[in-house]
Structure 1
């Protein structure tokens, strides 16, 4: 094991009051430091609590054109330059565009209908093209004055102010027993050095009416399929998972990582019955179960989307798992998951 894997790298410190929505200067300095350490994009993203695509895009945009090095201070200066507020709106700066929109709102056209009409009426004039979100912003954002506020009565909702969507932080607790998040998972899980740590998920059938559970062991990529012939309620999931993991030696089932799907509402009862801790990914973060996401893609060769998955028997699921575990994997040095697991069992 490489020495620099023995301790987690320092986390980037966020300035007090800084918005977590945008990368800050401390984040960019952290990226530069970790790139010098030859850390991967995914590792940097995990340390900053960001999507890998965010980090990848940030690095790509702000590399020096000559030497290719990431420049954190130049990146911060560009970001600061893009963000001054208030910015003049497109509708407020274009009287013809504003009059067209106001006239059609008076006729009770929806913002989306207006946007399409603008593109048809003025195909060669991009300054007359807007998306419907721009119209909503002009109506709802206080102080802009781009469109008359009384025009909101012409909208089908009739609302004079926008109804906000719930944010992740304001959600009610999903399960009766608190979730243990992936950030609290032992470090040994991340580097795949210790076998027995599994990732799990569901693949869903036609109209959400059927499902198959999928389990992937992180170090060997060994796959097990969970039979759910009678549904995917929390109780069905708990019992089926328990029966599946009990087929393995205890030292090869050390933990389970899952997303926040309602099928895991009985996670505490599963942990009590099996002595296996369950860790939950952050919302909207499928890369935190990368091995399982990749495997689910492979399994769609056998279980296409839009089909009824309840027709597959336990024997058929076992046969599919055997076939998948018999495929050589590049990440395993062209060994198969079955060969890797046999080595562990023999040891």
Structure 2
């Protein structure tokens, strides 16, 4: 048997179609080249709550949500986290800690990982955040909207300046007016 891999969205739609055509779970499994237990588990886990039927779109949402909630083990040992905590208590910044850990070949841990660890500790009632010299605001992801960083609101382009400015008759129309000599 092939190595296990999760069902794709297309396979879920295929299951819905074959089920509505009246095929049994075993027949669907044979048609898709999957184990019957895989199809059975998929149908049992991902049926809708209000009527108990299997719908591919809902099944995909349920599976994605489960994957997001899945606990993943930490890449770092308890000893490595103790080292990080000890350095944080000495008022070291996450950037400094990350650089030292990398330099001493202890582990390769990014400063963002350390910030996430501190914030998780704070949510759980810990006090690591109190040892930070500066705790920046929690970053937000900018998925939607236009990126406005570095853009001044209401600023006109230089080509839109008036004709009087082009003649440079008044104080302030020269670029060098504000330069101290």
TM-score class, shorter-chain normalisation, is: 0.3 to 0.5
TM-score, structure 1 length as denominator?
Answer: 0.23
Structure with max Cα Rg: 2
Select the structure that is richer in strand. 1
